[in-house]
A and B are shown apart, each in its own frame.
Chain A
Amino acid sequence: MSMSPEQENFEPLRRVLVLKQYEQPPPRYFNEFSGRVITRLRAGERGQWQDSSLWLQSLWAFLDTRPALAASFGAAAVAVVISGVVFSDRLGSEPAALLPESQFSALNPANISPPLAAQPTFFQANTNELTDSLFKEIGQPAVVPVNAIEVSP
């Protein structure tokens, strides 16, 4: 078998292959081709800018198509909020539990050094009599007797 293209008669085939040159895209196709490429390039650049500035939209779109993940994400967010509220309540009502014994005793007024405790205070400027509770100022609700109503059959 010859390996040289020149030694084999491929002339009929080459005549048929000329047909391929007649296969052309629709008219005016190439007039608009480069414009389409440039438009896509410009759109790509705009897209990149938008992606970097609106990352939240991307996250939203990502979660929008994955409901299970979105539910987990929401539950995690709610858990963080609830634990934050509970933790802050504990922080306000039980300072002793959060501080070591030595530090807590230092905050006790009984243990404050005398010069500091002896200093005059100016907080009690109001001389009006203090009530024990604000609720005492609210009058007791009047008890209205209720008469039974007889309903004839």
Chain B
Amino acid sequence: MIMAEPARKETGRPGDEAGTPAPAAPEESELVKRARKGDFSAYDELVRRYQERIYATVYHMTSNHEDANDLAQETFIKAFHALKSFKGGSSFYTWIYRIAVNKTINFLKQRKNKLQMSLDDIDFNAEHDPDLVALISDKTPRREVGLAELQEKLNAAMQKLSEPHRLVVTLHDVQGLSHEEIARIMECNIGTVRSRLFYARQQLQAYLSDYLK
């Protein structure tokens, strides 16, 4: 992962933004219909439309490019195979977001179990590492930090949040989705989204208190 120009914040579906969409762009429902019949070129177009947002969501949830790459690809592959079960009750955009979110949360649960095991192993060694002991006994907070370090701390703080709280912050504060869209993706009501967002921000603010002053 590299630091680059910020991703364009797209808050709605293609065609929902201010201004008119490109006239040659086929309708989403038409693309879905063709993809359901096995038309790979139509599905390729659908993937191109949503790849950046799906990837970004997964990446901000996992903080790992390789994991995000695998999960984003698997999301689109699973969605293609599940297209027959897509009734069109929600938009394709919401539907594929939901697949990505479920896949990512399942992955994170599995990873947490693995990390739990490896952390137990590290704990034993850490107690005997003089450098680590010196580091944690230094209680002076460092206020002047570089961007890279701040980014690292931010990612670490994000990873401390529970998956639903991290997801709400990612979708709202990083990707710019509305409360209503998030509620549809997470299949909960708007009040739940708001309360999770509030709690998640409070937690993040507490974790990063040394860097936010």
- The docked-state distance in angstroms from the alpha carbon of A34 to that of B35 is 14
Cα-based distance from A41 to B75 in the complex (angstroms): 12
Q: Which of A13, A19, A26, A38 makes the CB contact (< 8 A) with B212?
A: A13
The 10 A-B residue pairs whose C-beta atoms are closest, nearest first, are A21-B6, A24-B4, A34-B47, A12-B212, A20-B174, A37-B76, A17-B173, A5-B198, A10-B201, A33-B51
Inter-subunit contact B77/A40 (CB<8 Å): yes
Which A residues contact B (CB, under 8 angstroms)? 3-5, 8, 10, 12-14, 16-27, 30, 33-38, 40-42, 44
Contact with A along B162-193 (1 / 0, CB 8 A): 00000001100110000000000000000000
Select one of A8, A18, A35 contacting B6, CB under 8 A. Answer: A18
Interface residue SS majority, chain A: helix
A33 near B5 (CB under 8 angstroms)? no
Asked if B154 and A20 make an inter-chain contact with CB atoms under 8 angstroms apart, the answer reads: yes
Bound form: Cα–Cα A150–B187 in Å: 108
What residues make up the interface of B, taking CB atoms closer than 8 Å to A?
1-7, 9, 40, 43-44, 47-48, 51-52, 55, 59-60, 65, 68-69, 72-73, 76-77, 80, 147, 150-151, 154, 169-170, 173-174, 194-195, 197-198, 201-202, 204-205, 208, 211-212
Would A4 and B7 count as touching, CB distance under 8 A? no
Q: How far is the CB of A1 from chain B (nearest CB, A)?
A: 9
A-B interface contact total, Cβ < 8 Å: 103
Shortest Cβ distance from residue B203 to the other chain A in the assembled complex, whole angstroms? 10
Q: Cα distance A150–B77 when bound, in Å?
A: 91
Q: Are B197 and A5 in contact, CB atoms less than 8 angstroms apart?
A: yes
Do A44 and B2 touch (CB < 8 A)?
no
**A19 and B60 contacting across the interface, CB-CB below 8 Å:** no
Determine if A42 and B173 form an interchain contact, defined as CB atoms under 8 angstroms apart: no
Q: Bound state CA distance, A42 and B7, in angstroms?
A: 30
- The distance in angstroms between the C-alpha atoms of A102 and B30, with both chains bound, is 78
Instruction: Knowing A12-B212, A16-B211, say if A5 contacts B194 (CB, 8 Å).
Output: yes
Residue of chain B at shortest CB distance from A14: B173
A40 touches B174 (CB 8 A): no
Across the interface, do A37 and B59 meet the contact criterion of CB distance under 8 Å?
no
B-side contacts of A27, CB under 8 Å: 4
- Give, as a whole number of angstroms, the nearest-CB distance from B143 to chain A: 13
A13 & B47 in contact (Cβ 8 Å cutoff): no
Q: Contacting B174 at CB < 8 Å: which of A3, A21, A25, A26?
A: A21
Q: Known contacts A3-B195, A3-B198, A24-B1; is A19 also within 8 Å of B150 by CB?
A: yes
Which residues of chain A are within 8 angstroms of B198 by Cβ–Cβ distance?
A: 3-5, 8
